[in-house]
Amino acid sequence: MKDGSTSGLRRIAYFSPLPPEHTGIADYSNELLPFIARLAQVTLFATHPEQVVAALRTAFEVRPLEDYDSRPSRYDVAVYHMGNSMYHDALYRVLLRHPGITVLHEFGLHHFIATRTIGQGDFGGYAREMGYSLGTEGIDLAHRIRQGEAECPLFTVSLNERLLDHSLGVIVHSHYAKDRIRDVRPNLPVTVVNAPICSDLGSPRSRSELGCPEDALIFACAGHLFRTKQVAFAMDAFCRLRADFPRARFAIIGEQSELDWDLHAWLQERNLADSVIYTGHLPDIRDFVSWIAASDILVSLRHPTAGETSATTLRGLAAGRPVIVSDHGWYAELPDDVCVKVTPDDEEALYQAMRRLASDPALRREIGQRAATYAQREHSLSVAAQRYLDFIEEVFVSLS
């Protein structure tokens, strides 16, 4: 912190997307940083320090990313937050020059690598990354992709090996990710820290604010809505459900991204325009959470998975809402009694899960109460911060 009250503790150079950037990892860091700052001296590094929200600039020193190259010895360790989007491109370049502790929010990074290479017209760079991961087989596959003879194996080839080899240790949020890292880099220090979540972000919106009748049953999908979040799949099940629950509503909370459907045309074709609420991007996290808390049932699917941990799912649990999840990856690690798990791509299973919750208010309350207790106990910000510092010490010991 700027006041210097943490003198004598570890000096951390902290690299992460930060608000107001439109990514859950920015919100993650914003919530976690005050707790880490109680245990260490923290300096933030950002692509555009002047754009970081005022609260963080007041509480922390925020420096340009390029400054770290001339001052790494001023810090005991660099902590890098890596996700599967171009929000992490600039800090990834620093990571490759200055290895540190990597917080890997998604096991697979193929989308990120493909975007920063093929997406910029750099097929040679993509071939090099495929070769680094898969050898000559990967280079051959990259050439076939360029010729249009094969598709990018976005979910089956992780392309994270270079990052792992430039990390002193890795923090992940699931045993799924830890086990897969162990498979490819068995000697790399890695630990699981449950993804922390703030469980006190305000009250739910009222039905009148949502433009819904007081007795409306509200389903919701939330977050940055990529195709893999299967919004259309959930909406198909909702469309079936409406026959027996005509006062049901469906809220799409967040920003559409690369969805392969025209939402408005889809709603018009099914005469559902009056039954669906679409918020678009909500820049204020409290506003976003208030919409989740206003829903009765959160549908938080993901298929296929890149080994991510869903902050949206955790926010639903923390808000005491029953959440329907895909039964694989990190989602499968959630206790069975705090959510409802469905087999990925099983349309009938999803419909039956939605119908069962819609029909049973007592069941919704029971699952929601267990979910809130679980989130508060297992996904604490203070516990996560302590686990970060404990792991940093473990890595220091292993390297000494």
Query: Quick one: pLDDT at residue 342?
Result: 98
CA–CA separation, 257 vs 254, rounded Å?
9
* DSSP three-state, residue 194: coil
To the question of domain 207-378 being in CATH 3.40.50.2000, the answer is: yes
Of residues 281 and 251, the one with the higher pLDDT is 251
Query: Quick one: pLDDT at residue 202?
Result: 72
At what angle are helices 24-36 and 311-318 packed, to 10 degrees? Answer: 60
Other Cβ atoms closer than 10 A to 75 = 20
Q: Same CATH fold, 207-378 and 11-109+160-196+380-399?
A: yes
Instruction: Answer whether 76's CB lies under 8 Å from 10's CB.
Output: yes
Identify the weakest region by mean pLDDT among 7-11, 90-94, 395-399. 7-11
Confidence of residue 126 (pLDDT cuts 50, 70, 90): very high
Angle, vertex CA 27, rays to CA 317 and CA 57, nearest 5: 145
* pLDDT exceeds cutoff 50 at 247: yes
Over the stretch 5-47, which tens digit does the pLDDT of each residue have? 444 679 999 999 999 998 999 999 999 999 999 999 999 999 9
- Prediction pTM value: 0.94
- The rounded percent of the chain whose pLDDT value lies above 90 is 80
Query: Quick one: pLDDT at residue 260?
Result: 56
* Mean pLDDT across the chain: 93
Query: Quick one: pLDDT at residue 5?
Result: 46
Average pLDDT over residues 39-66: 97
- Domain extents in the chain: 11-109+160-196+380-399, 207-378
Average pLDDT over residues 70-77: 95
Q: Which of 345, 400, 339, 332 is closest to 375 using CA atoms?
A: 339
Over the stretch 109-118, which tens digit does the pLDDT of each residue have? 999 999 999 9
Average pLDDT over residues 189-194: 98
CA–CA separation, 38 vs 43, rounded Å?
13
**Burial class of residue 9 (count of CB atoms within 10 Å of its CB; 0-12, 13-18, 19+):** middle
Query: Quick one: pLDDT at residue 6?
Result: 44
Query: Quick one: pLDDT at residue 334?
Result: 98
Confidence of residue 4 (pLDDT cuts 50, 70, 90): very low
CA–CA separation, 244 vs 355, rounded Å?
9
* pLDDT exceeds cutoff 90 at 64: yes
Cis before 304 (ω within 30): yes
To the question of domain 11-109+160-196+380-399 being in CATH 3.40.50.300, the answer is: no
